Every structure is written in C-alpha cells, then in structure tokens.
Structure 1
Amino acid sequence: MDEQCRNCPALCETRTQVVHGYGDVGADFLFVGERPSRAADESGVPLVARDSAAESGTEVDTGADADTADDLRRILERLALCDATSPADQPELENVYLTTLTRCRHPERPPTAEEIDTCEPYLNAEIRMINPEILVPIGDRALSVLGTDYTTTPADELVLPDAHATTIRGRGFELVPMEAPRDRTPAQTQTWIEHFADLMASDYRQTKGRQKR
C-alpha cells in the first residue's frame, strides 16, 4: 500500500495523507465507504475516526462525514465489533476491517469516477488480503462498485434503499448493503442491525479454505 501515491494529482494537492484500510486483518466483515472524512485524513483511520479537536470541544467534523463516523461507530459497538472504551481516533476493532473506495480526500467534492477507478487496485488488494466473508457497502457509490465487481446481480437491481439490510450473493462473498447515514432513518438503522446480527449468528462462512474461528 503506497503511502506516497501520486496517481490522482487533484487529490494529492488537498490531502494530508493517504488513508488505507484499518482494522482486523483476519476479519470476516469488511465495510466500504466512499472516501476519507476530514478526520480520517487527519488520523489515517477511515469511516469511524473523529476530529482530534472533539475532545477539547473546539471545531469538529460536521455534516455527512461526522454523521458517518458517529453512526458507524455506534453500530459496531452494538454488534460487539468495536470496544466502546477505545479512543475515537484509534478504535479497537474485532473481526471487522474498514476501508473506502478512494484513499485521498478533496474537501469540496466527492471523488470522480476516474479517481475511484484509479484507486480500485488498492481496494481489490485489501479485499484479497482480508478475504472477508461479508462485504458491507455504505451508500450508493460503494454498492455500485462492489455490486458490479463482486456479484452477478444486474446493476438495476443494486439500488438503495431497496437493497438496504438485505443479503446479496456475490462471487465468494455476500454483500449486505447499508444506506448512507444522511439518507437513513432510525428505523432503517435498527432494521440493518437486526439483519446483520442474525447473519452473524448464522453459519455465514463460505467454503474458501478459511479456518473457522
């Protein structure tokens, strides 16, 4: 994983660092968001990191990025996949790995399709390394990319909110899509947690040579 990647010149000018994946490298569950948040750009931890200023009460991440961090952290804690006492910028994760479609952040816009394509080898390398059982795409863009690359389901059937809290058979994986926090109701969050908890309690492991935990 190249920490000095220069493949997307526009993003190189705005990032603090390249944000690769984070978590348990032997995880069964791999969550994929769209891009690093401002806090992730600062800390190097995707999806759940909060701004270091949060503890002091000064300016912190706001908007969709902050919503995603708080929301996903609470979900992981409820599923016993994250230690609730661990630091905000260095969460202790068990059986879960977090990553994003792109590795660098532009503060004023989402990544372009070309930038997502350029970062795809990093995502593919992480998926091959982790070899998870379940992929969790968060939001429409992550679902579109993972659904296209890792399932045989027609693209027009891979849409949110219809696919939210469902299980989609993939090529050696299963996908459990999650609606993005900014578009999701509390009831939808509860539905997803219940669906995922049921899946965790089931015999979800595929026949891929993985030793059972």
Structure 2
Amino acid sequence: MGSRSVSLSVRNVTDRTSNPFGLRPPFDRTEPTERTAVFGYGDANADFHVIGDYPGNHGGTRTGVPFTETDAGSAIQDVLRELEFVHGFRERPDLENLYLSYVHMCCLPDGHEPTESEYAELERFFDAELRAINAHVLLPVGERPTDHVLREYTTQRDRLEFDMPTLHANEVRGRGFMVVPIRDPSEWTDGDREALVSKLESILESDYRQTKGVATSIG
C-alpha cells in the first residue's frame, strides 16, 4: 500500500470503546442526518477480532455499533454473548477481550452495497486498524471478509478451496494470526452455530497466545 498506508497510535486512546484510534472516513455518501460510518468497537487490546462486511449487511447504521440491528449481526452477537465476550445492552454492549469492525466501515444511502473501488478505498484504513489491534484470533464473517483476511493475512488463500461451509469454524494458518472463518449467519444450516461455539470454546480453553499463527487442519 506504500504511501497510501495509514499510521495509527494506540497511546491515550485504548480506553475508548468506539473508534479508539480516531479514524476519519475518506468519503461520505450519506444524507446530512444519517450516520457516516460504523467504526470499530470494543477492547482495543483484545485477543479476538470479529470482522464483518459493511453496515448495511451486518448492522449498525442506527446504533453505530457493528453486529447490531440486523438478523445476521444479532446471530453473531448471540454467540459472543454465550461465550461471555459480550455483556449489557444489545445496542450498546460491553465487550471483554473482543473487538468488532468492518472491512468497509462507511454507510451508504438507500441500502446500496459498496462498489469494488469503495472497498479498495477503505482497505488501508481496515488494515491499519487490524494491525493496531493486533489480536491473536481473527474471525471474519461471510465471504468477502474471509476472502480478504485469508488473502492479506495468511499464505493459504490460493491453496484452499474457497468454500465457506468447509471453512466455517475451522482454523487457518495466519501470518502472525489464527484465522477462524465464520459462514454468514444468513446461510447457517443445522450445526453451524454449534460448530462455531464449540470451536471458540476450544480456543478459549487452549493456550492460544502461545499458538498464534499455528496451523491446524481444515475440514
């Protein structure tokens, strides 16, 4: 990304829950009364980083909090509550050892999906925040976040058959990260939720800080 990279400092901002690094969206496509972006939210020193797609898909255009409002967002939040990462009010929860963000943080009008150029324009912001958080476990939700995380933060993207039902709730070697892809909740079938809960319970019970980046089998 060269000169287009974004530099972030974690000093004096880690006590902020929403947008702890003070990111400013590079564009605003919304009406004056609408939310410009849904920024990263949670513990800036977290070991677990859940990565969604964009606000219109996984929620937050009203609350400003990722994984709220939509059915898919609520399904992810329910799993995280069961595992005690999430407490308190659903629309403004308290997070423990967890950070939530989107690969495309900007809101768009009338339910529009981001274009390829808009995703590309926000890539450097997402990358800078991800590296500032420096979580041990990355949990991308859905096809685009999973594709991006596997491509940019592992050496495995071209070696794997990109099939979300197969990748779901399995570990993939990362360049300094453990990656556990999550199938989009809108596509979950019998057993998908339980598989995700079981995988996260297993990671929490392990010494995952010592196994950061270690590969395990897929499938």
Question: Do these two structures clear the TM 0.5 threshold for a shared fold by scoring above it?
Answer: yes
Structure with larger RCO (C-alpha < 8 A, sep 6+): 1
Q: Deviation digits for residues 114-145 of structure 1, max 9, x if unmatched?
A: 11111111111211111100000100000011
Q: Where in structure 1 are there 5+ consecutive unaligned residues?
A: 51-65, 209-213
Q: Is structure 2 residue 141 aligned with structure 1 residue 121?
A: no
Q: Which residue of 2 aligns with 1:175?
A: 179
Q: What is the RMSD of the two structures over their aligned residues, measured on CA atoms?
A: 2.0
1:75 and 2:86 matched: no
CA distance in 2, matches of 1:82, 1:93: 5
Q: Deviations over 1:127-178 (max 9, x none)?
A: 1111100000100000011111000003353431110010001000010000
| Distance in 2 of aligned mates of 1:114 and 1:100 | 16
Amino acid at match of 1:88: R
Q: Are 1:138 and 2:157 counterparts?
A: no
Aligned to 1:211: none
What secondary structure is seen at the aligned counterpart in 2 of 1:99? strand
The answer on whether the counterparts of 2:26 and 2:122 sit within 8 Å (CA) in structure 1 is no
Q: What residue in structure 2 maps to residue 35 of structure 1?
A: 54
Q: Partner amino acid for 1:169?
A: R
Give runs of aligned pairs for residues 189-200 of structure 1, distance below 5 A: 189-200=193-204
Deviation at 1:200, TM superposition (A): 1.1
Task: Indicate which of 178, 203, 208 corresponds to 1:204.
Answer: 208
TM-score for both structures, normalised by structure 1? 0.80
State the alpha-carbon separation in 2 of the partners of residues 112 and 159 from structure 1: 23
